[in-house]
Structure 1
Amino acid sequence: MADTTTTPASTEQETEVVQPRSRRRGIIVIVLAVIVVAALAFWWHSTFYEDTDDAQVSGHLIQVSARIQGQVLHVDVSENQMVKKGDPIAELDPRDYQVAVENAKAALASAQASALAANVAVPLTTVNTGANLTSANAQLSGSHAQVQQAQGQLQAAQARIAQAEANNAKAQSDLERYKPLVEKDVISKQQYDAAIAAAKAAEAGVADARASAAASGDAVRVARQQEAASEASLKYAQTGPQQVAAQNAKYKQAQAQVQQAQAQLDQAELNLSYTKIVAPEDGIITRKSVEVNQNVSSGQNLLTLVSLSDIWITANFKETQLEHMQAGQAVDVSVDATGKTYHAKVTQIGGATGSVLSLFPPENATGNYVKVVQRVPVRIDFTDLKDEDPNHALRPGLSVEPKVRVKQ
């Protein structure tokens, strides 16, 4: 009969064989579990988040330039200096522009005086034209009366001529009849002398009547001339409304000149204010090229101001990452320079890929086309920048890594 008892040595060997196998299985299980967890984490991350390391902080680079020409009196900033909005940067020599302001003020005062005189002349012209019209009507009526009176006197003078000629004809006839009678001593010499005197008086009466008629004719002509002058005066007086309108036009022209002088004064004062160059925004001074006693021209760049009050993220995502991305989605932004994470949101997705917006866009019409995954710029704005970055540690150009939650 065989001996079936197991010795202690053989039992220990079997235990040593079983323990290494169970350890290996445990390690394998742990490794598989880690791999599964890592795969699940990667799947969860790739499903709910999209991120990229092709992103940077963007901001406004403001070119500060001179708006007028002049000589620099002093410079108040230095390179990489932090400035606030309204802080002085530099000042130009203001003396030429102060003189221009004084000249503009004098021109404005002169224009205002001219406008005041023109305004006063409007009612005076209205009153004068009304009085001239009344006077011209009265003069014309008087001239008409004088013409009628002179014509009446002329007619009377012409009647006296006819009467004088008739008396002269009778006197001459009587004289001719008395001649043979005085020769025959039918009548006395005295009667004949009286007839001669009467004939001469009748001739003188004709001459006097004719002279009176000529004077009356001259009076008629003078009266008619005065009548014509009165009619001309009346016509001129009737242009009173036009004269008033012309004076009103002069007043409006004077007002326009006042406005023009005011505009010139405003421009001169603006130019004087431009001699003081101030910071348009909060930021940091860079690329300073302005120096004391330098002559600068209008539009010349003096320095660059990096604005820190309005910065954002420009992230270039692959086109394969944009399927579920849209404006308003939350973003966590990790910044290498600060080691912090900031909160932001997607604001807008670019209208074209970076390659299309480049200086030399690709030409695929040649047939040598190779499909390349394109990148699209996405703008991301910070939501709590004042609280998260009170010291303005973020600067344009810093590298960041945004992570966008594309699913809830």
Structure 2
Amino acid sequence: MDIQENINVNVNENNNEAKKKIIIFLIIVTIAAIAYLLYYQLVGKYNESTENAYVNAEQITVTSQVGGLVTELNITDTQDVKEGDLLASVDDTDYKIALETAEANIAQAVKAYYSTQSQKNAIDQDINAKKVILEKLAEDYTRNKTAKTAGLITDEQLKASKAAYEQAEAGLKASQSNLEGTKVQLSGSLEEYPPLKQAIAMYKTAYINLSRTKIYAPVSGKVARKNITIGQKLMPNQAILVIVDLNNIWVDANLKETQMKDIKIGDKVELKSDINGKEYEGKIIGISAGSGSAMSLLPAQNASGNWIKVVQRIPVKIAISKKSIEKNGVLPIGSSMEIDVKLKKSSEQNNDDSNFELLKSRATKMYQVDEDKLNAEIQEIINKNK
């Protein structure tokens, strides 16, 4: 009996212990559920997060504008460059010869203009002389006709006088026609002389091509995907490297379409980098016009009978605060980010848009030609040959 009582006591104790554990478990679950509900109501419903986000930046592809062998190379992958730095040089021998040939063509055109001008003056003098001769022959012919009527000269003499007159008249017309052709060639000033304008155009082309044998950095950034070596034969418009502007970076986040209901441009974003674990401040500056699949090269076709619904992703562009970048450092493109969009505070955005502003447009002078210098060189060549 004592043994049975002990067994019953132990069973009751075990049951009580089990009940206590169940009650504690239920209390913990209830607290967790309440905590989650409170978190969702106070925080979660105003946030949208994803790990499908990656750093991006402007990538400038540098190409060779002319063909030729690479004779100089001053860069390597991962190197920082500044706008205007000489990256590489192409063999310029042929381009120098082309420029010298173009210079000779300008000189020849100038000389041809003045030579034609001299011809025009000579033709003018020839016409004046022929007019005097023609007037005299016309008088002789008129007098000879009168003399023939009076029987003072023979028919042969009259015919000879007429032939001389007609020959002089034809010579005058030929000279006048030659003068008109010369005037057409000399229509306008030297600068409007067609052969000279053509020679100047060829000189400018040769000058520009020679300048393009030097390849400069159009922007500041970090060199990536270098595809050029010493001695390599380059073709015009061949891509030789990429410059990544890491001071102008943003994040491309791909959010589920079910997360996009309350997201709008201007929402604040907290970003955490997988590279350094640091947090950055961001702001949504753009939402794609279509889902990732719709904007792909080969959009998915959902007209088949075995269609299965797949939640789509909408690309969202997020600018990173410049202050955050200065504080935590730049990030390489393609690196992963965790983002948390703050929906609740979307109406309380920072008005300092310049802190989030990306470069929307830019210009470089590396591809520009100094036209004043070029025109001065051309004028100097013209003056030497006048």
The two structures have a TM-score, normalised by structure 2, of 0.69
1:393 maps onto 2:330 in alignment: yes
1:50-90 CA distance string (max 9 Å, x none): 32211111123444443333333343223322222222323
Counterpart in the other structure of 1:68: 66
Question: Structure 1 residues 237 and 86, CA, compared in 2 at 3 Å: closer, same or farther?
Answer: closer
CA distance in 2: counterparts of 1:144 and 1:285, whole angstroms: 87
**Superposition RMSD in Å:** 3.7
Counterpart in the other structure of 2:293: 355
Contact 2:71 2:91 in 1 (8 A): yes
Counterpart in the other structure of 2:102: 104
Gaps in structure 1 of 5+ consecutive residues: 1-20, 158-212
1:330-355 CA distance string (max 9 Å, x none): 33332222333333332222122112
**Equivalent of residue 267 in structure 1, options 205, 210, 222:** 205
1:336 maps onto 2:274 in alignment: yes
**Counterpart code for 1:248:** L
CA distance in 2: counterparts of 1:140 and 1:70, whole angstroms: 65
Contact 2:185 2:193 in 1 (8 A): no
CA distance in 2: counterparts of 1:93 and 1:239, whole angstroms: 51
1:149 maps onto 2:146 in alignment: no
**Counterpart code for 1:85:** E
Counterpart in the other structure of 1:222: 160
Describe the SS at the equivalent of 1:305: strand
CA distance in 2: counterparts of 1:150 and 1:263, whole angstroms: 60
Question: Structure 1 residues 139 and 315, CA, compared in 2 at 3 Å: closer, same or farther?
Answer: same
Contact 2:137 2:165 in 1 (8 A): yes
CA distance in 1: counterparts of 2:293 and 2:318, whole angstroms: 20
Question: Structure 1 residues 333 and 125, CA, compared in 2 at 3 Å: closer, same or farther?
Answer: farther
Aligned pairs for 1:39-58 (under 5 A) are: 39-58=37-56
Q: How many equivalent pairs are there?
A: 323
Describe the SS at the equivalent of 2:254: strand
Counterpart in the other structure of 2:363: none
Question: Structure 1 residues 401 and 92, CA, compared in 2 at 3 Å: closer, same or farther?
Answer: same
Q: Deviation at 1:368?
A: 1.2
Question: Structure 1 residues 128 and 404, CA, compared in 2 at 3 Å: closer, same or farther?
Answer: farther
CA distance in 1: counterparts of 2:164 and 2:133, whole angstroms: 9
Contact 2:52 2:255 in 1 (8 A): yes
Aligned pairs for 1:359-398 (under 5 A) are: 359-382=297-320, 384-385=321-322, 388-389=325-326, 393-398=330-335
Counterpart in the other structure of 2:221: 283
Question: Structure 1 residues 39 and 129, CA, compared in 2 at 3 Å: closer, same or farther?
Answer: farther
Instruction: Mark the structure with the bigger radius of gyration.
Output: 1
**Equivalent of residue 405 in structure 1, options 330, 342, 356:** 342
CA distance in 1: counterparts of 2:198 and 2:178, whole angstroms: 30
The two structures have a TM-score, normalised by structure 1, of 0.66
**Counterpart code for 1:388:** I
Gaps in structure 2 of 5+ consecutive residues: 1-19, 348-386
**Counterpart code for 1:401:** E
Aligned pairs for 1:1-400 (under 5 A) are: 35-118=33-116, 124=121, 127-128=124-125, 131=128, 136=131, 139-157=133-151, 215-233=153-171, 235-236=173-174, 239=177, 242-243=180-181, 245-248=183-186, 255-382=193-320, 384-385=321-322, 388-389=325-326, 393-400=330-337
CA distance in 2: counterparts of 1:391 and 1:118, whole angstroms: 73
CA distance in 2: counterparts of 1:97 and 1:148, whole angstroms: 68
CA distance in 1: counterparts of 2:110 and 2:328, whole angstroms: 54
**Counterpart code for 2:167:** A
**Counterpart code for 2:148:** L
**Counterpart code for 1:257:** P
Contact 1:79 1:285 in 2 (8 A): yes
CA distance in 2: counterparts of 1:325 and 1:120, whole angstroms: 80
Describe the SS at the equivalent of 1:348: strand
Describe the SS at the equivalent of 1:366: coil
CA distance in 2: counterparts of 1:234 and 1:71, whole angstroms: 61
CA distance in 1: counterparts of 2:31 and 2:274, whole angstroms: 33
Describe the SS at the equivalent of 1:365: coil
Question: Structure 1 residues 238 and 88, CA, compared in 2 at 3 Å: closer, same or farther?
Answer: closer
Question: Structure 1 residues 151 and 63, CA, compared in 2 at 3 Å: closer, same or farther?
Answer: closer
CA distance in 1: counterparts of 2:281 and 2:147, whole angstroms: 116
Describe the SS at the equivalent of 1:364: coil
Identity fraction in percent: 29
Question: Structure 1 residues 116 and 310, CA, compared in 2 at 3 Å: closer, same or farther?
Answer: farther
Question: Structure 1 residues 87 and 231, CA, compared in 2 at 3 Å: closer, same or farther?
Answer: closer
Contact 1:114 1:254 in 2 (8 A): no
